[in-house]
Structure 1
Amino acid sequence: MKRRLSSILATLALSVSALAIAAPSAAIADEPPGVAYVALGDSVASGNGNLPYLDEACLRSNRSYPLLLARELGLAVVSTACTEASTADVLEQLGDLVVAGAIGPETELVTLTVGVNDVQLDADPAPDWGDVLGACSNKSPLPPEMCGVLLTASLQLLATLPQKIEALIDAIRAEAPSAQIIVTGYPLLFGDFTGTCSVGGGVTFGEEEARLINAAVLQANDLIAQGVAAAGDANVMYVDVVAGFDGHGLCDTGDRWISGLIAPQARTTDRGFHPNAAGQRALADILEAAIAG
């Protein structure tokens, strides 16, 4: 989910306009050929907002789920995951790996988390997750019904996501013929609550708005799962992480594994509405269990 998301909500709280930030390209150098584990994806896979960073441009964290999973599995890993990455950006990430010789016949595992950032690619101007969440919060200048309108528009922009996921899987398979490929969905942002959910900075969400946002995430996950199914590859697995995060969303019954808004001046402000350190650990554990079968 985009780096811009938390800044938009924070600036909505301050009634200041936010600017879009372009996704930087991930760079790979001096990696051995055919690394055992390769990770691709967006800010959920890069672990943004969780210090320390291995790559400041992509907000790639040493506490991201790919690095945690690699340690648990005892595998060497290269991650090109980058904040704000779309499916097109992930195809470029794959190209970087190919040029570096970091993916090949010796690669055993590839993980992929991507999809929601594609909401801005197929129309101009287009709502993205930041616009949607801003419209669904108490700080929005828009009528309340615009929350559902923008969510619907966003999902319409994701109509071709299954084909894009399928194409990514085919491209990965061409470079890593023996690898197990795991494609993840996204956790829900909100848990069960009554009244309003405060996420920091004076920003709140109502029950209906939270329900609509969660429903949109579920629909995005379904589109990703459709792409995996369409690939028709027995060694590709879609892993739904929603159940694993049950009880740990914003304003949920247990500890938060999703961060609320972080102060705009903080170095970790990009963690807003992303998995925190506990959430990244949970993602690694969910994937490890899926791999073990």
Structure 2
Amino acid sequence: MKKWLLPMFMMVALVLAACGNSDKGEENIDKGAGKDSSAETITYESETGPVEVPADPKRVVVLSSFVGNLLQLGVNVVGVDSWAAKNPNFQDDIKNAEVVENTDIEKILELEPDLIIGLSGIENADKLAEIAPTVLFTYGKFDYLQQFIEIGKVVNKEKEATEWVKDFEVRAAEVGKKIKEKIGEDATVTVAESYNKQLYLYGENWGRGTEILYQAMGLKMPEKVKEVALEPGYFAISQEVFADYAGDYVIFSTFMDQDNAFTEAAWFKDLEAVKNGQLFEVNGNVFYFNDAKTLDYQLDFFEEKFLQ
């Protein structure tokens, strides 16, 4: 029940009760989930305007690809999307988290979050905001490193996020320099993925390690891949023409729950990168994202594979 609907004498009683017991949380619209009138808050300037969020969030629901950013900052996550739930690198940190979607209003309410983070344009954004402070981001509005800093701002850990970014940029540049020295300045790298019997090529900002390879390290993308995938971010092709897009090196994502029998097919084995031992197969569930935790994993992987 909205406070402005209460009779005046009840309003007075509520105010007196609040003064006499400052640790009691302010009641939420339905059941008091995630809101505490005594908790310290900060204001985050979101895309849609200022949002008052907890200064030290304890129960965060993440409805997007940002889970690894929260985990990197040591923030407790109680709700995650299905893709994050499948990431082996996240398992220890989210073992007690529930898998939810933006349509699971009742389920999210039961988690009693004090903060919700997701992507803009999602259904039920207004209902989510009634449960807890909700911050939504447009994918691609910030580059992958600034996005982490923005997440840091939301959870009052901007300093930690900024320090990590500076350190990561140095580490990635150093590894990139060593890789270029080994494979040559003109060597090309293709990032591809097999999913649901379809092959995809990726540009420079669509996860799968693309941000590190092309942006942080400055490795070269094959011209044919650049023509079709750079602007849209990804491009679907048939297996039969993959050889035309494969660079000197190939980062190839596959998923354990998919049919990957094609790796035994003649067209696959005939790829120059395969013949030269320069196709590096990766777990798609691990490489899918571009959050800070995943970036650390990807950087270690590239250092090991390219420089072995």
Same fold (TM over 0.5): no
TM-score (norm 1): 0.30
- As a proportion of its length, which structure holds more strand? 2
TM-score (norm 2): 0.29
Task: Compare CA radii of gyration and give the structure with the larger one.
Answer: 2
